[in-house]
Amino acid sequence: MDQRALVQGASRGIGLAFVKELRRRNPDGTVFATCREPAAAAELTGLADSDTGIRPVQLDATDDRSVRRAAESIAAGTERLDLLINVAGLLHEGSHLRPERRLSEVDRSALQRVFDLNAFGPLLVARHFEPLLRAGEQPRFAALSARVGSIGDNRLGGWYAYRMSKAALNMGLRTLAIEWARGSRRITTIALHPGTVATDLSAPFRRNGDARRTVFSPETAAGQLLDVLDGIGPDDTGGFFAWDGARIPW
């Protein structure tokens, strides 16, 4: 099948690896690869220059006009989307936004910024891309959450904004899964945890020589998560799955 997929947050890290792996698995398909600034995403645009199956599109998940414009522009090039993966996420930004170690480090503007991308972004993407997904072949909608967003699994504390934003994302996805399980054109909706992956996001927190923790390359992570996505069906909608297919408690 000429799968039509969209990777939201495709400029680097796990998102870029998804684009490459989707092209490898579906040579007849098309991947719409969205990011905030396609012109600045050198590796993505380089790939797209030599592969017409990759279509970079501007989309800032914290800007509703940008999300709507991206949906309109993609709808002009395809009548359906079979797979949409929200990858964009934020843990730290510059010197002003760091994961909090304790309550005294909690800051309202940081909370708002992290929630805006991690929790609100995928839900508003869902809103604007729903018509294309409804027209898809066994459509699937996924977002990269994180195990640290699990309330039941929280034993260490810290990282207030990131943990809370991923817990809110999970609730949004679960609620969406219930709405999208109704009617005749159902959309399977899941949350995914990629494991620890060697990207810019995790770089400051990966301890050198920490042999107890497995760190995946972005390519391995993307392949594992696509295997999970290939293995799920409508009965799995509303689930939270780790990279190995195991369910994670909410």
Ligand X SMILES: NC(=O)c1ccc[n+]([C@@H]2O[C@H](COP(=O)([O-])OP(=O)(O)OC[C@H]3O[C@@H](n4cnc5c(N)ncnc54)[C@H](OP(=O)(O)O)[C@@H]3O)[C@@H](O)[C@H]2O)c1
Single out the segment in contact with ligand X by CB under 6 A; choices: 59-67, 131-139, 150-158, 171-179: 59-67
Show contacts with ligand X in window 143-162 (CB under 6 A). 144, 146
Q: Which is nearer to ligand X, 102 or 213 (CB)?
A: 213
Q: Does 12 participate in binding ligand X (rule CB under 6 A)?
A: yes
Q: Does 197 participate in binding ligand X (rule CB under 6 A)?
A: yes
Q: Does 14 participate in binding ligand X (rule CB under 6 A)?
A: yes
If binding means CB under 6 A, how many residues of this protein chain bind ligand X?
Answer: 27
Q: Does 85 participate in binding ligand X (rule CB under 6 A)?
A: no
Instruction: Say how many residues make up the chain.
Output: 250
Instruction: Tell the smallest beta-carbon distance from residue 59 to ligand X (Å).
Output: 6
Q: Does 200 participate in binding ligand X (rule CB under 6 A)?
A: yes
Phi, psi of 17 (to 5 degrees): -65, -35
Q: Does 229 participate in binding ligand X (rule CB under 6 A)?
A: no
Of the candidate residues 38, 136, 172, 194, the single one contacting ligand X (CB under 6 A): 194
Burial 43-69 (b: 16+ CB within 10 A, else e): ebbebbeeeebbbbbebbbbbeebbeb
Q: Does 54 participate in binding ligand X (rule CB under 6 A)?
A: no
- How many CB atoms are closer than 10 A to CB 97? 17
Q: Which is nearer to ligand X, 112 or 138 (CB)?
A: 112
Q: Which is nearer to ligand X, 89 or 239 (CB)?
A: 89
| Type of residue found at 172 | G
- DSSP conformational letter for 214: -
Q: Which is nearer to ligand X, 158 or 234 (CB)?
A: 158
Instruction: Tell the smallest beta-carbon distance from residue 2 to ligand X (Å).
Output: 25
DSSP assignment of 54-110: EEEEE--TT-HHHHHHHHHHHHTT-S--SEEEE----S-BTTTB---SSGGG--HHH
The beta-carbon contacts of 19-24 under 8 Å, at least 24 apart in sequence, are 19/44, 19/47, 19/54, 20/47, 20/219, 20/222, 21/219, 21/222, 21/223, 21/226, 22/83, 22/226, 23/47, 23/51, 23/53, 23/54
Single out the segment in contact with ligand X by CB under 6 A; choices: 9-17, 75-83, 128-136, 175-183: 9-17
Q: Does 44 participate in binding ligand X (rule CB under 6 A)?
A: no
Query: What DSSP element (H or E) covers 185?
Result: none
Q: Across the strands, what pairs with 189?
A: 141
Q: Does 188 participate in binding ligand X (rule CB under 6 A)?
A: no
Show contacts with ligand X in window 16-35 (CB under 6 A). 35
Would you tell me which residues interact with ligand X (CB under 6 A)? 9, 11-15, 35-37, 60-62, 87-90, 117, 144, 146, 193-194, 196-197, 199-202
